[in-house]
Amino acid sequence: MDLPRPDSDLPALSRPGPLLGGRRFAIAARRLVTCDPSRASTGDPLGVIEDAALIVRGGAVEAVGRRHEILHPGAGIEIAFEAAGVVTPGLVDCHTHAPWVGSRDAEYAVRMAGGDYEAIAAAGGGILASMRAVRAATTGELAAALRARLLRMAALGVTAVEAKSGYGLDEASERKQLEAIAEAGKDARLPRVVPTYLALHALPPEAAGGRAAYAGLVARSWLPAIAAAGLARYVDAYIDRSAFSVDEARPVLERARALGLGVRAHVGQFADVGGAALAAELGAASVDHLEQVAPEGIAALARAGVAAALLPVASFTLRQAPPPVAALRAAGVSLLVGSDANPGTAPTESLPLALALAVRLYGLTVAEAILGATREAARSLGLGDVCGAVRPGLRADLAIWDLPHENAIVQPWGTPRALAVLRDGEVVAAHG
């Protein structure tokens, strides 16, 4: 399939039918960003191959290298895509609240006019507004909204998405969100989905006994039932000044570990209350936000190998200062970038926008941003042996861009710039 040259005019995005049928084929690219550490060097952390080709067989990458090495005379391999621009691994969005319904546009307008997020939440807006919408929706309605959102994310180059519950705030509604994630996750023509039970997000209005009692109920009853049903791979908790304390979150996250589930945590979005140290103690896969984190918390994360998921769309929306990226980098903490897609503080579905803001506002290099939304993000989601890089043995999750260089991916174009997006070697989104 010949693809238009970079920066050419393109027809509207559409979702095609099956194209490749699992057969063996090749992709040729003027520039291939592998994100393969075995190809990385001091001057090239992305492992770029110029004038490259790769072979896909049965949905997996079979071979990668220079074009003349892979497509030598007599190879007899069909070139399915001839890319004049850059090809990368499919993007991996490590932090989203994607299964939501409803709109919080009114509070967004108030916040843009200077309203305070924590005050809006205390008055029954914020998470509680989304709670009311989720509780009123059916599982089918949630799944349909999520499918549509995932398809739009795919159009932006995304092939894997972490999706959190956390807007139901009672057992039945949290399960409903997780069941919607499971339903959408069955569709192989959408990005692969990693389900997270956001067990502690906010206190529901009917809760008696305060946050500690609510967290105890979650740990004793709701969490074991959700784990037994296989509805979550990770458990998350919002540990912050106006959310849950370390003492309130500990029994939930410890129970998650005991049940064989991974741990993630929202930490330090508004204040450092010790969440980083707890996450490090429990071997969390990531701590997310980190606008406020002390040096001792950073040191604990580094010792425990906990990744830092940066969410610049939310801090931009809330007019917050960036996290201490230089200190995290210096400590050797792995940096991830997520969209934080949600209806309130990060009303976007665009991981490329988050990458652009991570570079512009947080000071990440282009290579750090791309690795944080490919290889490092996949590793944090337990997908490191599935996707996140272009190397033999991994699934053929790929983005073929209408861009001449990976630097251009982090420019905030505001429109889809992926010519074709493949998951398991099949096209999930394409122009034309």
The C-alpha atoms of residue 260 and residue 43 are separated, in whole angstroms, by 40
Q: Residue for token digits 């109920």?
A: 217
DSSP class of 158: E
Cβ atoms of 286 and 380 closer than 8 Å:
yes
Residue 11 CB burial class (10 angstroms; 0-12, 13-18, ≥19): exposed
The C-alpha atoms of residue 111 and residue 63 are separated, in whole angstroms, by 50
Beta bridge partners of 310: 337
Whole-number pLDDT of residue 84: 94
pLDDT in tens, 187-207: 999 999 999 999 999 999 999
CATH fit for domain 13-89+388-431, picks 3.90.850.10, 2.30.40.10, 3.40.50.300, 3.30.70.2860: 2.30.40.10
The confidence band for 9, taking pLDDT boundaries of 50, 70 and 90, is very low
Spell out the alpha helix ranges (H) of 282-365: 295-304, 312-317, 325-331, 351-362
Q: Which amino acid is at 71?
A: L
Whole-number pLDDT of residue 326: 98
pLDDT in tens, 57-77: 999 999 999 999 999 887 789
CATH fit for domain 92-380, picks 3.40.50.2300, 2.60.40.10, 3.20.20.140, 3.30.450.20: 3.20.20.140
Whole-number pLDDT of residue 75: 72
pLDDT in tens, 315-349: 999 999 999 999 999 999 999 999 999 999 999 99
Write out the H or E segment, with its range, that includes residue 175.
helix 171-185
Polymer length in residues for the chain: 432
* CB under 8 A, 24+ apart: contacts of 210-219: 211/244, 211/245, 211/248, 212/247, 212/248, 215/244, 215/248, 215/249, 215/251, 215/252, 216/251, 218/252, 219/251, 219/252, 219/254, 219/255
The confidence band for 122, taking pLDDT boundaries of 50, 70 and 90, is low
Query: The dihedral of CA 128, 133, 136, 142: what is its sign?
Result: negative
Whole-number pLDDT of residue 117: 65
pLDDT in tens, 209-241: 999 999 999 999 999 999 999 999 999 999 999
The lowest-confidence range among 116-130, 144-158, 256-270, 306-320 is: 116-130
Beta bridge partners of 162: 194
Of residues 183 and 116, more confidence is placed in 183
pLDDT of 121 higher than 70:
no
User: What's the whole-model pTM score?
Assistant: 0.93
Whole-number pLDDT of residue 5: 43
The lowest-confidence range among 122-136, 199-213, 251-265, 414-428 is: 122-136
The confidence band for 123, taking pLDDT boundaries of 50, 70 and 90, is low
Whole-number pLDDT of residue 48: 98
The confidence band for 12, taking pLDDT boundaries of 50, 70 and 90, is very low
Q: Which amino acid is at 164?
A: K
Whole-number pLDDT of residue 339: 98
Whole-number pLDDT of residue 352: 97
- Whole-angstrom CA distances from 213 to 204, 251, 254 are 12, 11, 16
pLDDT of 414 higher than 90:
no
The C-alpha atoms of residue 53 and residue 1 are separated, in whole angstroms, by 14
The confidence band for 432, taking pLDDT boundaries of 50, 70 and 90, is low
What percent of the chain clears pLDDT 90, i.e. is strictly above it? 85
Whole-number pLDDT of residue 124: 66
**What are the residue boundaries of the structural domains of the chain, listed by start?**
13-89+388-431, 92-380
* SS3 at position 398: strand
Whole-number pLDDT of residue 17: 42
Residue 265's nearest CA partner among 430, 374, 380 is 380
The confidence band for 8, taking pLDDT boundaries of 50, 70 and 90, is very low
